[in-house]
A = this chain, B = another copy of it.
Amino acid sequence: MTFNAKLTSAWQNSGSQLMVGLDPDPARFPAELQGRNDAIYEFCREIVDATAPYVCGFKPQIAYFSAHRAEDQLEALCQYIRERYADLPLVLDAKRGDIGSTAEQYAQEAYERYGADAVTVNPYMGYDSVAPYLEWKDRGVIVLCRTSNPGGSDLQFVEDRDGTPLYLRVASLVAEQWDRNGGQCGLVVGATFPQEIAKVRARVGDMPLLIPGIGAQGGSITETVRAGRNSRATGMMINSSRAVLYADNGEGWCAAAARVARETRDAINAVE
């Protein structure tokens, strides 16, 4: 089964296009976890259990583990998600960008060490930075296309001689050339630019889009969904991290995370 097939099943079975991003920041953990050696793992595991009924998948961001020497906790978390929620895609947000034998090492890290179903990848080094990942036929590669930060325009909005901005070139390259085996690639497109999500969607057919930028970052759910859904009324992994993880840091933090996840899923599904 390809990554896209697993994701499509998850959309259908969960009835959700919400993806919860796991960006654990120990300074924001509830008091009951402060000072514990496994606080990062425990925090994420509780969030996963609380929000799993409302999501189409989980997306741990590796920097939040690496900065704290917590690769072992990321391994344990990924294993937990794979075993307990085997039908929910696990996307490792690592934004790797390298080629050849080095990219193979990164693929091995993402797919074998952490057992991720997909990994985010940076396109700046071209097709060579995606090709090594495609050797894992049942796994996915989600390529940065249009990011939701102010500086995202520095390069992504540069227009070529025909007036095509770089991010649309990336969208076309991935859809028409890089996803050689089919069903392995997706794109990252930020929610703060719904018009640009629509332009990407128009170029890539039903390809999955990973969309950060709603919630704490201010993107509109309604505009995002109208711009990003595909011909089957799905096609999106709409990511929310901080708004879910830190909905409350008192005793009711798990319930608060579950509530925000459920409300976000419902808001996504309510868009006509």
Contacts and interface: CB of A to CB of B under 8 A. Distances in A.
A114 B106 CA distance: 18
A33 B173 CA distance: 43
A109 interface: yes
A169 interface: yes
A149 interface: yes
A160 interface: yes
A179 interface: no
A141 to B, nearest CB: 14
B126 A66 contact: no
Interface string A47-73: 000000000000001011011010100
Interface stretch (A81-89, A90-98, A221-229): A90-98
Contacts of A155: 123-126, 166, 169-170
Nearest to A121: B97
Contacts of A151: 99, 125-129, 131
A170 B147 CA distance: 17
Contact of A67 (B63, B108, B123, B156): B108
A25 B63 CA distance: 24
A144 interface: yes
13 contacts: A23-B101, A64-B102, A67-B109, A71-B71, A95-B98, A99-B149, A125-B147, A125-B151, A126-B150, A126-B151, A126-B153, A128-B152, A155-B166
